[in-house]
Amino acid sequence: MRMARETAANLFSSDGKIPVTILALDADCAIVALAAAPPAGSIAILVRNRVRIFCTVGWTAGSEIGLMFDDRLDGPTMEEFAGGAPLLAPSYEAA
């Protein structure tokens, strides 16, 4: 799901604490923007509103990375993580 507005969080990796902007969030993955991306395959923890999500950096593309969550998020955890930030319904474009 795309975030309806930019949502700040922190990513903790072997590089330390990195501020990120969440661009999209789903039950098993997220896309975030950040200044300096850890390499693909890095283990990380995405943190927002006291929710910690253990994940792996699946891909990097410039200032954006894809995070693959270790465990699928349930609805209440996603809502708490979003902390009132509106989530948009997924949209699909025809290929």
pLDDT tens per residue, range 59-88: 999 999 999 999 999 988 888 888 765 554
Asked if residues 64 and 32 have their Cβ atoms less than 8 Å apart, the reply is yes
Q: Tell me, which fold does domain 2-82 have in CATH? A: Thrombin, subunit H (2.40.10)
Asked if residues 32 and 46 have their Cβ atoms less than 8 Å apart, the reply is yes
| pLDDT bucket at 5, cuts 50 / 70 / 90 | low
Helices (H) and strands (E) in the chain, counts: 1, 6
Q: What is the CA radius of gyration of the chain?
A: 13
CA distance 47 to 32: 12
pTM of the model: 0.83
